[in-house]
Amino acid sequence: MNSPIEIDFILLVFLVLISYAAIRMKNLLSATILLSGYSLIMALTWVVLNSPDVAFTEAAVGAGVTTFLFIAALSKTMVMEEK
């Protein structure tokens, strides 16, 4: 089953906007949260493309584990900056 072109275009626009916003962010925590949102939208894109196994992996690793590791690294970095 093919997805309507409108859904594909909307997902593409969201991906481009979020990636641009993440690049322009000065605050690293905000950029990390935006990249997590990017990963979730990318997982939705994989679902639309009928690839649920890749979507599940993207959601688990991209939005879950990677975001956790980035935030953990940022918390350690911010503590070192305060000293």
Candidates 47, 35, 34, 42; CA nearest to 58 is: 42
Considering the entire predicted model, what is its pTM?
0.83
Is residue 27 helix, strand or coil? coil
pLDDT band at residue 15 under the 50/70/90 scheme? very high
- The mean pLDDT of 45-74, rounded to a whole number, is 92
DSSP codes joined into one string, 52-76: HHHHHHIIIIIIIIHHHHHHHHHHH
Residue-range definition of the domain harbouring residue 76:
5-82
Q: How far is CA 34 from the centre of its chain?
A: 6
Identify the pLDDT of residue 45: 94
Q: Are 60 and 68 in contact (CB under 8 A)?
A: no
